[in-house]
Structure 1
Amino acid sequence: MPRWRIPLRAPVALAAAGVLLAGCANPSTGSAEDDPAKPVTLKFWHGWSAPGEVEAINDSIARFEKLHPNIEVRATGNVSDATTNQALRAGGDEAPDVVSSFTTNNVGQYCDSGMWVDLDPFMRKTGLDKEKVFPRSLLDYTSHQGNQCALPLLADAFGMYYNKDAFEEAGISRPPRTMSELVAAAKKLTVRSGDSYERVGFMPNFRLYQNSPDRLFAQWGPAYFDEEGHARLAEEPATYDFFETAKKLRDAQGGYDALERFRTSFGDEMSNQNAFLTGKLAMHLDGEWRGLMLEEAGAGFDWGVAPLPVPDDRPETYGRGYLTGTVVGIAHSSKHQNAAWELVRFLTADTDQVVAFANAIHNVPSTYAALKSPELDVDPAFRTFLGIARNKYSQALPPSNNGGMYVVQLQDFAYSQEAGEVPDLRKGLRRLDELIDADTLQSQN
């Protein structure tokens, strides 16, 4: 599946594999003594499966092999994290040398388990200064507790799509920039039809498409954990403002029950029945890929893109957004780690390669140089996402050693909270922190 089609609750499926992986005390040991100039065959496992994306990654490999004629790369696509984890635990000649993942939440377990090697020694040996090559926010989600076991391979940035025709009809001159403006615009853009709707201004319910609570919560720049690694959502002032803002959005547009009934009438996210495409949503949280899909579908209205609004007391952060992306690393069991590093370095840090790959699959480049490249295809909508990726306040989720189970727990809590099933928010958040800490401790034992 393309990265953006991965279900939001993917960490659940990976939880068991994640715990096993984190518990591996003796991963198969490979070698970093190989000569990368000698003939070698590398096995590269990745998750891309859509024809255009497979073609793009195969073209990338062909460019690499032209530069390194002694290295043959055998690529295997549509490989899940669970399958890769099982192969790395088993080791042996059939295990991959280079691996990629669409699930940044799992980086913590990749690093902690020792299954993905620390890339810092390879970068020092070949003179790659990661701080000068990659944006800090992307380095944050490819490392864990000082172990840089992965590097970013393109990124996804989230912003707000809006229906310009609906805005003009409602007399709204520009996209909202603060949360209070978002609430006011959402109310004005909502059109009721009896006990249902013709259109909702902004659907706040967390089960909608990409509306996982962590996506919108990123606009507050929350700290999920303290310095000791303990969950601190109950202590984070932004948490309360976030949930209160979501409630204001629901109340301004008819309440949770009415909105949820309308949401269940929406078509599939990746089809031509997408609720934004069919005009049922005037504003919509989504990633950079949606623009290309709207163009291909021939949207019957004028649309634009803007960063998501920010809290009223943090206007200087406007332009920020939630970031995620593909990560790539080297298997600890690989006996060709220096040659594998040449492939990783090419895929992630070669400017021409990163730009070509980004253009091919319409994702955000993951290096400073590629973001500024004149060869980058930048229509006005895509340019907005490039700005979000560059913004110093943009945030990715912090990695954890159990595959991001805290995100799943936040999702489940948010589902209950929005439905009115959490009578005491502070007490509920304290319980959520306890559950997150308990799962983190269990994965360490």
Structure 2
Amino acid sequence: MRRAALALGAAAVMLAAACTPAPKENKIADPGTEVSGSVELWHFFTDREAAAIDTVIKDFTASHPKITVNVKSGQDDGKVTQAIGAGSGPDVGLSYSTDIVGKFCSSGAWVDLNQYLRRDKIDLTKLNATTRQYTEYAGKRCAMPFLADAYGIFYNKDLFAKAGIAGPPKTLDELTEDAKKLTVRNADGSLKTVGFLPLSDFYENSAAHLAPMVGAKWLTADGKSAIGADPTWKTLLTWQKQLVDFYGYANLVKFKASLGDEFSADNAFQKGQVAINIDAEFRLAFLADQAKNLNFGVAPLPVSDPARYGGGYVTGNILGISKNAKNPEAAWELIKYLTTDDAAIAKLAELIKNVPTTTATLTDPKLTADPNFKVFLDIFANPNSSTTPPSSSGPAYQETFAQFMTEWQSGKVADLDAGLAGADQKVNGVMQLGG
């Protein structure tokens, strides 16, 4: 999965979905009706991951000989939603962004799957609870979860040993202490090695990924911003700014500018330039390919309250049926197979190196055999893990708060309480526009 690509397609996704009129509910077939014909699947995967999709699609067509699947790889959310808005596009879309669910469900760009779930008596409790949360909005389930990402920390064991640190930090205070011990400065005071790079615009350090460290809430029950009223946001931002000030904001900006691209072999953690990094299970595949000799460990996110330790941020890929689907019954058969068949899900998880989404597959021996991967399986299943709630405005509320965090970490916000109150108002403004 490539979360870094999310922002690039967000505007196109929101525009296309917003212009899509809500369709009438499809008339579905009676239970037991034989399904046949062709179905078109668009997904964003390429190369090794696209080959994994092809392998499992072959399994599907072998068990469903009367259904033909036409696969179009390398299709990002912008292309899919533009095609839907134009009245064409795939029968089934596979998206990398859970943030589009609110917009797709409310606009009708993807159809409500509850009708199929009821008819086929699908037991949704077999899905992980967090994935159930991010695949529905306002009573509509227009998506099903297709693998997931669980976020924790990666740490450099050799740098830890050199600094005399026995194991990964479990609390924010320990993270601060370890980050300072692991940091090495050049003779001129500039940064050579950083223990933990606290800037919110570095790699995977988004507010969404940091929020579970303090249990921060994004939205209230009525869909308004909870940022100003939730004191944990102040806890998170105070901790972050104190660490930024330790390094010096200008020093961090200069250091960050010298680092390689997140998804290249020059990734700062892989090069030993950053000792502790927030990342997801997909980093394991990159390390195996690009940094075979790196001595690393993985762990859950450090937290403000030790009672919350063990969790992290959870997100994932999602599948939905387009309102323009030419063969919605075949589309549903494909989605049902890819999201409820434990053998298919486990095979996909092993091939793509992402977290499976059913409770049964979390204990699959092939997946738990790797102790590092098992850490992320445990984070995914931990009750303290959380995700970002779906909204009719899509990711706009997160993007708005990200702008505030950028101002805060740079020192442009003198009064944090007033700043959070202002961020509240701006978030509520974009939420009203999104609705």
Correspondence 1:161 to 2:154: yes
Q: Is 1:241 aligned with 2:235?
A: yes
Contact 2:193–2:273 under 8 Å retained in 1: yes
Give the distance between the partners of 1:282 and 1:376, measured in 2 at CA: 26
AA aligned to 1:401 is S
Deviates more, 1:399-408 or 1:328-337: 328-337
Q: Which of 135, 140, 149 is equivalent to 1:142?
A: 135
| Identity over aligned pairs, percent | 37
State the partner residue of 1:45.
42
Indicate conservation of the 8 Å contact 1:8/1:212, yes or no: no
Counterpart position of 1:98: 92
Matched, 1:176 2:172: no
Contact 1:178 1:315 in 2 (8 A): yes
Q: Which runs of 4+ in 1 moved over 6 A?
A: none
User: Matched residues in 2 for 1:173 and 1:128: separation?
Assistant: 46
After alignment, is 414-423 or 428-437 more displaced?
A: 428-437
2:378 corresponds to 1:367: no
Aligned ranges 1:150-229 → 2 under 5 Å: 150-194=143-187, 195-229=189-223
Paired residue type of 2:112: D
Correspondence 1:72 to 2:68: yes
Contact 1:348 1:354 in 2 (8 A): yes
1:350 to 324, 341, 345: 341
Q: Is the 8 Å Cα contact of residues 300 and 311 (structure 2) preserved in structure 1?
A: yes
Name the residue aligned to 1:281: 274
Given the two structures, how large is their TM-score scaled by the length of structure 2?
0.95
Q: CA deviation at 1:90?
A: 3.0
Provide closer, same or farther for how the CA distance between residues 328 and 405 of structure 1 changes in structure 2, counting only shifts above 3 A: same
The residue type equivalent to 1:255 in the other structure is: G
Q: Which moved more, 1:195-204 or 1:347-356?
A: 195-204
| Inter-CA distance 62–119: structure 2 relative to 1 (3 Å threshold) | same
Q: Who is 1:415 aligned against?
A: 406
- Determine if the alignment matches structure 1 residue 339 to structure 2 residue 330: yes
**1:332 Cα deviation from its structure 2 partner:** 2.3
- Residues in 1 aligned to 2:12 and 2:25: alpha-carbon distance in whole angstroms: 23
Using structure 1 for the length normalisation, give the TM-score. 0.93
Tell me, in whole angstroms, the C-alpha distance in 2 between the residues paired with 1:238 and 1:175: 23
What CA distance in whole angstroms lies between the structure 1 residues aligned with 2:366 and 2:295?
27
CA distance in 2, matches of 1:381, 1:52: 21
- Read off the aligned partner of 2:272 and give its amino acid letter: G
Q: 2:315 aligns with which of 324, 340, 343?
A: 324
- SS of the residue aligned with 1:162? strand
Q: 1:59 to 1:36 in 2, by over 3 A?
A: farther
Residue equivalent to 1:9: 7
Is the 8 Å Cα contact of residues 25 and 111 (structure 2) preserved in structure 1?
no
- Looking at structure 2, the residues matched to 26 and 172 of structure 1 have their Cα atoms a distance apart, in angstroms, of 56
Secondary structure of the corresponding residue to residue 396 of structure 1 = coil
Instruction: Rate the CA distance shift 1:361–1:242 in 2: closer, same or farther, 3 A.
Output: same
Taking the aligned partners of 1:358 and 1:304, their CA distance within structure 2 comes to 21
Distance in 2 of aligned mates of 1:432 and 1:289: 32
Residues 433/145 of structure 1: CA separation in 2 closer, same or farther (3 Å cut): same
Q: Which moved more, 1:243-252 or 1:232-241?
A: 243-252
In structure 2, the gaps of 5 or more residues are none
Residue 383 of structure 1: which of 374, 377, 386 is its match? 374
What is the Cα deviation at residue 17 of structure 1? 4.0
Report if the CA contact (8 A) 1:197-1:262 is conserved.
Answer: yes
Contact 1:27–1:333 (CA<8 Å) still a contact in 2?
Answer: no
Which runs of no fewer than 5 residues in structure 1 stay unpaired? none
Q: Pairwise mapping of residues 97-136 of structure 1 onto structure 2 (< 5 A)?
A: 97-131=91-125, 133-136=126-129
Q: Is the 8 A contact 1:222 1:238 kept in 2?
A: yes
Q: Which amino acid aligns with 2:271?
A: T
Q: Does 1:55 align with 2:46?
A: no
Q: 1:377 to 1:57 in 2, by over 3 A?
A: farther
Counterpart in 2 of 1:261? Answer: 254
**Cα distance between partner residues in 1 of 2:158 and 2:85:** 54
The SS at the match of 1:278 is coil
Q: Which amino acid aligns with 1:426?
A: D
Return closer, same or farther for 1:87/1:28 CA change in 2, 3 Å cut-off.
farther
- Distance, in Å, in 1 between the alignment partners of 2:184 and 2:245 is 14
Per-residue deviation, 1:377: 5.8
**1:39-79 CA distances to partner (integer Å, 9 max, x unpaired)?**
31111111112x11111111111111111101001111111
Q: What SS does the aligned partner of 2:365 have?
A: coil
Contact kept? 1:330, 1:341, Cα under 8 Å? yes
| Whole-angstrom CA distance in 1 between matches of 2:173 and 2:3 | 31
Q: Contact 2:111 / 2:320 at 8 angstroms: preserved in 1?
A: yes
> In 1, are the aligned partners of 2:213 and 2:301 still within 8 Å (CA)?
yes
Q: Distance in 1 between matches of 2:13 and 2:293?
A: 44
1:77 maps to a residue whose letter is S
- The superposition leaves residues 182-222 of structure 1 with CA deviations (integer Å, 9 ceiling, x where unpaired) of 11111111111122122111110112111112211222222
> Between Structure 1 and Structure 2, how many residues are aligned?
433
Shift of 1:289: 1.4
CA distance in 1, matches of 2:287, 2:366: 23
Q: By how many angstroms is 1:121 displaced?
A: 2.0
CA distance in 1, matches of 2:293, 2:366: 30
SS at match of 2:5: coil
Q: Please, which moves more after superposition, 399-408 or 66-75?
A: 399-408
Moved more, 373-382 or 315-324: 373-382
Residue of structure 2 aligned with 1:436, choices 418, 427, 434: 427
Q: Do the aligned partners of 1:220 and 1:242 also contact (CA within 8 Å) in 2? A: yes
The alpha-carbon deviation at position 16 of structure 1 amounts to 4.9
